A and B are shown apart, each in its own frame.
Chain A
């Protein structure tokens, strides 16, 4: 019974992770501004990957594989947001203006 529950929970987590991945991908394509696109991409790394990895942890139970997956999640949480942060900082350094969209919107509204 509890095996079925764990299976179900891991399935839900993996599917939810996949859905987050798709949402992040759609955001990456459709959002208008570079900085909002970074936000959509970082959704993938902070929700999609950990959800899928959590589902895999439930599937593999109490083995060495789970320990390795925990290390993987910690590493992911350390490095991916840093990458997004550095990307945004590099864009500002390169001259992209974060407020451009908001100013263009305000101008359009008059």
Chain B
């Protein structure tokens, strides 16, 4: 039964991937892209990975789709087919690579095989020792924030580097001359305004719940940051970019990505000052387990602050850049 669900979901994934490949209308492709991410999130859930499914649904079906739509609003809406469509060489390359890869999977263990090497070295240690050494039920959170804390620090810095890159490319431009500040595009949709006003506080509350309950259920800093950003983005879409930029003061928003990374790195420095190694949370409190709890809480807060502010800054950069570019016929202007 499990296998049947897996097979159906994987078939749908393949079909939507082929649809993304063949659709010429790029707005339709963006919608299929959101659908692809959502189906993959469902697949991750059936494969016992709710944390991953959560992140993929929020990030792929949320942020990535919004960014693709924001880009399409400033570039072309339809894909133009080239003068001379070259299919032979790419097709040959793809077939050969696929054949070699499938030949390579012959030696992989079967899915779910208990004797596979993946289940027999470090993973049993994490599963058995986590309750004694760290004491939080969500093993993924304890591995992410404590056992593999360096990787997560690197990830926070990568996210920070991304926002630096995006802002350097398209951000922080003063409004170009001639763009009047009109009402938001959706401001005459009364139903949408009422529902948005009901829904945005709920989403923010849910983001806080996911952030702090991430030690007991699927969740954590990344998912919470993305959901928080999604709430503000919804507000920006319905009530206008300027209203949304006023929610968090720009001076604070520009500083928040670095602050989150600083919190994360700072916890490591504090543990070193207290006599331990970098990011050795045991030193943060008298009882090692309480120290681990405190350390995980702090670094997850750092991650949440960075991720939410980064997603917001990236969205604001894209939206601000696209202002005044859309002509009346829907095509992007000069």
The chain A residues found within 8 Å of chain B, CB to CB, are 75, 78-79, 82, 85-86, 89
Contact = CB atoms under 8 A, between A and B. Distances in A.
Contacts of A89: 189
A52 to B, nearest CB: 14
Given A75-B202, A86-B191, 4 more contacts: A78-B198, A78-B199, A82-B192, A89-B189
B195 interface: yes
A75 B231 CA distance: 14
Nearest to B203: A75
B235 to A, nearest CB: 14
Q: Majority SS of interface residues in chain A?
A: helix
Interface string B185-226: 010010110010011001000000000000000000000000
Contacts of A79: 195, 199
Contacts of B192: 82, 85-86
Interface residues of B, number: 8
Contacts of A86: 186, 189, 191-192
Interface in B143-198: 186, 189, 191-192, 195, 198
Contacts of B191: 82, 85-86
Contacts of A82: 191-192, 195
A75 B201 CA distance: 12
Interface string B21-51: 0000000000000000000000000000000
Nearest 5 Cβ contacts at the A-B interface: A82-B195, A86-B192, A85-B191, A78-B195, A82-B191
17 contacts: A75-B199, A75-B202, A78-B195, A78-B198, A78-B199, A79-B195, A79-B199, A82-B191, A82-B192, A82-B195, A85-B191, A85-B192, A86-B186, A86-B189, A86-B191, A86-B192, A89-B189
A78 B199 CA distance: 8
A77 B195 CA distance: 11
Contacts of B186: 86
A82 B189 CA distance: 10
A82 B190 CA distance: 10
Contacts of A78: 195, 198-199
B213 to A, nearest CB: 12
A75 B199 CA distance: 8
Interface string B284-319: 000000000000000000000000000000000000
A82 B191 CA distance: 7
A89 B198 CA distance: 20
A109 B202 CA distance: 52
Interface string B125-152: 0000000000000000000000000000
A78 B192 CA distance: 10
A61 B249 CA distance: 46
Contacts of B198: 78
B59 to A, nearest CB: 19
Nearest to A86: B192
